A and B are shown apart, each in its own frame.
Chain A
Amino acid sequence: MNKLKLNPSSITFLAILVCLPLAYELFINFHIGGIELFKEFVISAFNPKINNEIIFTLVKRLNETFLIAFSSWLISIIFGIFFGILSSEIFYKILNLPIFLRSFLNLFLTFIRSIHELIWGLILMQIYGINFSIGIIAICLPFIAINAKVFSEQIENINHKTIESIKQINGTKSSTLLTLVWAPILKTYKNYGLYRLECAIRSTAVLGLFGVGGIGTSIFLCFQTLNFRELWTYLWGLAFLIIISKELLKKFNLSKTSEKFLTYFIIALFCISLFSLYFFVYFIFNKNAIPFNSINNFLISNFSLISYDFLKLLLETIVLCLLSTGITISFPPICILIFNNKIGIKIIRSISFLFRLIPPPVLILILLMFNDPSISLAAITLGLHNAAITSKLLLVNLHNQDNKQYIAMKSLGVSKRSSWLLGSFVKQANSYLAYCAYRSDIIIRETAILGVIGSVGLGWQLQESLSSFAWEEVIIILFAYSSIAIIGELINGKIKSNLA
């Protein structure tokens, strides 16, 4: 028998093996105690509650959500571009600055993005109390660092020969830099920046579950009172907001606008940048902040951390990441392979939209209707949410690719599924796996969300430590989170470069 050969296609499908331990644990913990509730939840999706009062609340909550999401998206894009340029090699080459400055900046940005916006939100809430600004700042912090990474990666892709040719014209350094980075920045904004608005809306919804405000707060309140019809009104409202905001932004094309409009647009951007900088500084030094005296304890603390099972939680977090990543990688291609027809694909699209729409904390609460809390349950929640995102990308890429090989295989009498696998998917496997590697970076950060609502891993401990103002523990947990995220990012970077 020949040896199994590992390639992007086989790795994609082999990842399904994580389902074996997962299925075992889920089977053991299965119960039907919440079947009636689940039935009610599903039926309510088709029968949301609509009356004047709810519509009024929905509009108010959507306004809040959009305001937080849009502000944080815009600020994070502007500063993301700024830090993206500052953290790219080309900046230091053109301005002849010492390259070690870039390493410091990159390390700082890696730390900032390794901590999920929810954790930033919880920390800021503990320090400053519940405040509308918390949502914006909590989302902005990791989003700026994430955007900076993406913009910087695209700027690094500029052909060195183009750099040489523009440098050779001997314009001022600022003109040379701007001319070189302009096109990749615009392209990244179009391909990636707009998608970040959807992410910002979803993150606002998740932060809302923890009291920041917006639609998330209403969703959580409805779930707590098991008012599923009202819950679905808010979920559909959230879906509407995501779709509408995406379509509106798509229509905004910078290159087709008039000179006057562009001038106003740039002045507006400049003002927003200045205002947001002022906002950050004012917020941090605001004298109304709740004093967090307990941080002083950090200095005199004896680090009695061995009292709780820190290592176990750390290990749980890593296992949770691995299991969720396995599901994220393998579910979409397997589902498309099995249901490879027009209706099947439509169903996959609809289900994946729902899994993207329902915030993971709500999703796990729904799954808890059938199952006891466990790592497997957290993993399947996080895995399904992220698989919904990777499936969207895979379907778009499959749709856009040339399907000559698929047609050629079918003409040879090969079955539809085999033709899809060998004629279509194989071509996508490399880039799909590279995207999944990037996605796993995000999964590492997202483990915090499930942990915080009392499931598993470090997030649970973080919530406990935050609630008791045990800042020394909080700092160590943040450090642990950061370390896992940074190590994960390094490993994934290696995987991505190998796949490229």
Chain B
Amino acid sequence: MINTLLELKEVSYVNKNNFTLKNISLKIKSGEKIALLGKSGAGKTTLISILNGTIKPNKGKVKLFNTEFDKLNLYQKSKISTIWQDLRLIEDLSAEQNVNCGLLGKRSFLFAFKNLLNISSFKKAHQYMKVCNLQKSIFSKNIRKISGGQKQRVAIARSLIQESDILLADEPFNNLDPKITLNIKNLLLINKNKIKVPNTTLVSLHRLDLLNDFNRIIGMKYGEILFDLEKTKLKKSHLNMIY
């Protein structure tokens, strides 16, 4: 039997900026590789924010490991990691310090303190940075001083180092060149490296040429899920519905 890791039950959300989700029900099972499609403003980012517990829905329930979000402890919550569309890195820290921040869920206060003083071990951070195609020369560089694509990979490394069970990624291939895009996609979906990568992944994206390694596709428009099907069943008519 396949476990349900994340579940949304009749979730609706309206905020002051009118980003809305209308009555969404969704189950994410262990091992699924889900692509989330939709035009800009369709509600993909809002859905991801609800899935990781950052925003609370106005209506409906969100469950992780069959437990409501409010009742989860920190350890359980740390089983979800997110790559944000706007990256949300700490600008005044270096790339490796930012990646090490991903370990905060598993380490003590002393680790956080040493990381900020730049005296903690960066061995693990460097390992993850390398698989994200980041060169050694940028490891200790300040986030402000690196390019958009490098920042994107730092954010990816930060979320992977969490070694979570579920990865939610909001347009993670932005700013990346075609070769690196392919590498990162392979890393997230068919990991052949020695590092641990989440087994379950939901990725919001715009590029249809990157859909081949996903096994489930969800299409959204105006805050509603218009289709939710296996990759093999995706037809052009489905795409016409959302674009």
Q: Which residues of A contact B (CB under 8 A)?
A: 159, 161-162, 164-172, 174-176, 178-180, 182-184, 186-187, 255, 259, 262, 266
Contact = CB atoms under 8 A, between A and B. Distances in A.
Given A168-B82, A170-B77, A259-B119, A176 B92 contact: no
A179 B104 contact: yes
A360 to B, nearest CB: 37
Contacts of A179: 90, 101, 104, 112, 115-116
Interface residues of B, number: 34
B52 interface: yes
Contacts of A183: 90-93
Interface string B136-179: 00000000000000000000000000100000000000000000
Interface in B194-216: none
A169 B105 contact: yes
22 contacts: A162-B89, A165-B82, A166-B104, A168-B54, A169-B81, A169-B102, A169-B104, A170-B75, A170-B77, A170-B78, A171-B78, A171-B104, A171-B107, A175-B111, A179-B112, A179-B116, A183-B90, A183-B92, A187-B92, A259-B117, A259-B119, A262-B119
A198 B88 CA distance: 36
A472 B112 CA distance: 51
Contact of B88 (A162, A178, A184, A262): A162
B68 interface: no
B86 interface: yes
Contacts of A178: 109, 112-113, 116
Contacts of A174: 109, 112
A166 B101 contact: yes
B84 interface: yes
Contact of A165 (B77, B88, B113): B88
B109 A172 contact: yes
Interface centre among A161, A166, A167, A175 (most CB of B within 10 A): A175
A262 B90 contact: no
Q: Which 10 A-B pairs have the closest CB atoms?
A: A171-B104, A183-B92, A165-B88, A175-B112, A170-B78, A170-B77, A182-B116, A259-B119, A170-B105, A174-B109
Interface centre among A161, A170, A172, A262 (most CB of B within 10 A): A170
A488 to B, nearest CB: 33
A171 B116 CA distance: 15
A164 B88 contact: yes
A172 B117 CA distance: 18
Contact of A171 (B89, B93, B105): B105
A210 to B, nearest CB: 42
- Interface SS of chain B: helix, strand, loop or mixed? loop
B90 A162 contact: yes
Given A168-B82, A170-B78, A186 B105 contact: no
B91 A175 contact: no
Contacts of A266: 117
Nearest to A175: B112
Interface of B: 52-54, 74-75, 77-78, 80-82, 84, 86, 88-93, 101-102, 104-105, 107-109, 111-113, 115-119, 162
A168 B74 CA distance: 10
Contacts of A159: 88
Given A165-B82, A168-B54, A169-B101, 17 more contacts: A162-B88, A168-B53, A169-B102, A171-B104, A171-B107, A172-B108, A174-B109, A175-B111, A176-B112, A178-B112, A178-B116, A179-B104, A179-B115, A180-B90, A183-B91, A255-B118, A262-B119
Contacts of A172: 74, 104, 108-109, 112
B119 A175 contact: no
B17 to A, nearest CB: 14
A161 B74 CA distance: 19
Contacts of A168: 52-54, 80-82
B73 to A, nearest CB: 9
Contact of B84 (A165, A170, A259, A262): A165
B92 A186 contact: yes
A253 to B, nearest CB: 12
Given A161-B86, A165-B88, A255-B118, A171 B112 contact: yes
A50 B61 CA distance: 82
A33 to B, nearest CB: 58
Contacts of B54: 164, 167-168
A486 to B, nearest CB: 32
A182 B92 CA distance: 9
A90 B82 CA distance: 21
Nearest to B168: A168
Contact of A169 (B75, B91, B118, B162): B162
Contacts of A182: 116
Nearest to A256: B118
Interface centre among B84, B93, B117 (most CB of A within 10 A): B117
A278 B134 CA distance: 50
A259 B119 CA distance: 6
B74 A170 contact: yes
